[in-house]
Amino acid sequence: MKISEFAKMNNVTAKMLRHYDEIGLLKPAYIDEATGYRSYDASQSNCLNWIIILKELGFTLSQIREMLNGPVDAGKMIREMKQKRIEISSVLNEMIQRKIEIDHLIKILEKEGFHMDKKINLLNISQDSVHEIKKNMPNMEVFLEEAYSIADASGDSKYITIFRFDINHFKQLNDDYGFDVGDRVIVACYNIIKENIEKYFERYAIGRAHGDEFIVFAPVGRELAEKAAQSIIQGMSQFDFSQIGSDRQVKCCIGGVTGQNDLTIIRKMIDQSIEVIYEAKGKGPNSVEIQIFG
């Protein structure tokens, strides 16, 4: 069929199909040597559909070409898919954190605006309110700086561990009980994490990965990290969340990685911990999954 017909059938443009032909991503079934007109077979829609799907997921055209140019190693493709999920999760985490910050800012502006006769001068907002906004800002860079500092000062430690703490169904908790209760749950979880890791780690860093997730760094091995993680789980199960407004007992998952004490791999370990927390969630509430980096 003509390129215009094939384009219409698949809800794409002829210009896009010409581009895919030029870069070797989707060649026409036939090209008329005299006119240069391209013709396509209906069966090529399957390939085009995969191009559209993979492009929507954020893969580059060169990556898509490699995936579609014949059979590829299944393990490699799965790794690429997992890496893409990590990238998407990182962006999503940042957006969730910003959404939470906006919610806090709206509440404060509504409160302060009432006191200012429905007019706002940011410089006249109380310092307590400004501090409340600031403390909810993303602190991953602060966490990283602290983690690098601890790792650098812990030359006697052979291993380092990074793990993530995720509150199960936090969005539903916010929907059911409101943001005030959600904030109190966040604070309670932070205190539980801090109290329990101090039992096992002499040096550590805690950061907010996003709204319902914390990240912990310590110059320790896998065994000690698992003990600390289990202690956090136990602390969560023993805490009475009803006293802070949640009739539902809050649960969590912990996933992380242990590697050699090497400053150059800390960011990669953070990325891998995103994938591991998914595996921990797959095991059910109050699960722990600590893996070896790599």
DSSP sequence for 193-260 = HHHHHTTT-SS-EEEEEETTEEEEEES--HHHHHHHHHHHHHHHHHS-GGGGT-SSPP-EEEEEEEEE
Listed residue (29, 20, 22, 70) closest to 48, CA to CA: 20
| The most confident of 48-57, 94-103, 140-149, 282-291, by mean pLDDT | 282-291
Could you identify the residue written with the tokens 């997992």?
82
Residue type, 194: K
Q: What pLDDT is recorded for position 138?
A: 45
C-beta neighbour count of 128 within 10 angstroms: 8
Percent of the chain with pLDDT over 90: 49
Stronger pLDDT, 100 or 171, i.e. the higher one:
171
Burial of 23 (0-12, 13-18, 19+ CB in 10 A): exposed
Stronger pLDDT, 271 or 136, i.e. the higher one:
271
Distance separating alpha carbons of residues 19 and 29, to the nearest angstrom: 15
Nearby residues of 171 by Cβ (< 8 Å), 6 or more positions away: 212
Distance separating alpha carbons of residues 5 and 120, to the nearest angstrom: 58
Asked whether residue 115 carries a pLDDT value surpassing 60, the answer given is no
Tell which phi-psi region holds residue 251, choosing left (phi > 0), alpha (psi between -120 and 50) or beta: beta
Computed over every residue of the chain, the mean pLDDT equals 86
pTM of the model: 0.60
Q: How many CA atoms lie within 13 A of 250 on its CB side?
A: 33
Distance separating alpha carbons of residues 178 and 193, to the nearest angstrom: 23
Distance separating alpha carbons of residues 9 and 182, to the nearest angstrom: 48
Distance separating alpha carbons of residues 208 and 214, to the nearest angstrom: 4
Mapped onto helix, strand or coil, the DSSP state of residue 182 is helix
